[in-house]
Amino acid sequence: MFEGHCPHCGWADSTPFHTVSRHRTAGGMTIWTRCQCGSLQMRTIDAAGGRIVTRGRPAPDAAGGPYPAGVRQPAVPRVERCHES
């Protein structure tokens, strides 16, 4: 569904490092994720599929992002649910 890689660090878009939140919408779902480099992404999933709508840049003062260097991609995406609808 999500192909490609983060232009800032090369992390695979198909495996978000951290899911910040999920929100149901009239058209499907909006998901906010954070890449391993700290870049925030807004993803939408609807009848047409999934896409990254917007992507931020890592914080300029975060050397390598807010996560430890050498972090490997997990085999299964990590999902934290803050709110259940």
The burial class, CB within 10 Å (0-12 / 13-18 / 19+), for 33 is buried
Q: What percent of the chain has pLDDT over 70?
A: 68
Q: What is the pLDDT of residues 44-59, one digit of tens each?
A: 999 999 999 999 988 7
pLDDT of residue 73: 47
Domain spans in the chain, listed from the N-terminal domain onward: 1-60
> pTM for this one?
0.66
- Find out whether 33 and 20 touch, Cβ atoms under 8 Å: yes
